[in-house]
Amino acid sequence: MTTTVSPAAAVLPMPMIPADGAVALTHWGLISAQGADAARFLHSQLTQDVEHLDSGHARLAGYCSAKGRLLATFVVWRPQPEEVFLACSADVLPATLKRLSMFVLRAKCKLADAGAAWRLVGLAGPSALAWAGAAWPAAPWRLAETPAGRLIRLPDAAGSVRALLVQPAGDALPDLPALPLAQWQALEVASGVPTVTAATVEQFVPQMVNLELVGGVNFQKGCYPGQEVVARSQYRGTLKRRAFLWRSDAPAAAGQEVFAVDDPSQPAGMVVNAASLEGIGHLALLEVKLAALGQSLHLGVPGGPALYRLTMPYPVPLEAS
């Protein structure tokens, strides 16, 4: 007998995704920043402290417009004092690189698309742990050097361990089972770590997609574009939207609107990231109004495919802050 659960009735457990192997991350892009002022320049542009980032750690960061809306999100690491790398969604890389370059001015910093020189590889599961051995970083966002390249541990997702491998573009993938890209993308969604794509540029203040909850915003650093708006959202009680994980009755897509049954005249939220996986279903990280959490939500149009809320891998405030 199949039990039907009302979308607003319960928070369902996130299903486990037993991923194992390696996959080239063709949906990611990589920007390099080199020069004596590279870290200082990026520190002035991003939501994260880049100047004090050491070679053993990576961090999340956002790049905002003057209105505090996210233009891109990054995984950032600094392997050398005068070298910084920014991994982002490939479809926002050209516009992001162009915009950042406009503000370099006289700073000693050269920005470039590093995709021709470096490749990002996703590693997951027991075979990845065995392959890395003692080099596997002890905690998320720790960075380690391996003969194959730099290894950045990511937060576990849906029961699977994960890491990014940054390797020379011409090298062969690690000798691991082939991991389907769709499976990796499902893990990305299940992690609850938001990625801004072309479909969601300038749609979200960082806190609307939980960027500060996953360590992507430093509130003690100096100014950056949109900093006043981000700080106001944090400290003045203006934040009334958050991101949560959901399962859908139909495939979702980033940028797709979500509607609440009690107020179908206007959207109640938007899809941040989404993935579909056979045996698991359709997963999405959705930004929604906190006031709409107790209502039945639907994808795309009022009365569209139903959405079912799932557990998050980290605590999310349920009251307007």
Q: pLDDT of 17-73, one tens digit each? A: 999 999 999 999 999 999 999 999 999 999 999 999 999 999 999 999 999 999 999
DSSP letters along 145-185, please?
A: EETTEEEEEEEEETTEEEEEEEEETTSPPPSSPBPPHHHHH
The ranges assigned to domains in the chain are 21-190, 240-314
Whole-prediction pTM: 0.94
- Which of 160, 124, 148 is closest to 21 using CA atoms? 124
CATH topology of domain 21-190: Gyrase A; domain 2 (3.30.1360)
Q: pLDDT of 127-171, one tens digit each? A: 999 999 999 999 999 999 999 999 999 999 999 999 999 999 999
Phi and psi at residue 125, in whole multiples of 5°? 85, -175
| DSSP code at position 14 | P
Q: Measured between alpha carbons, how far is residue 159 from residues 14, 15, 20, 141, 156 in Å?
A: 9, 9, 11, 17, 7
Q: Measured between alpha carbons, how far is residue 181 from residues 28, 56, 267, 277, 300 in Å?
A: 12, 27, 31, 10, 25
Amino acid type, 301: V
Question: What would be the CATH architecture of the domain defined by 240-314?
Answer: Beta Barrel (2.40)
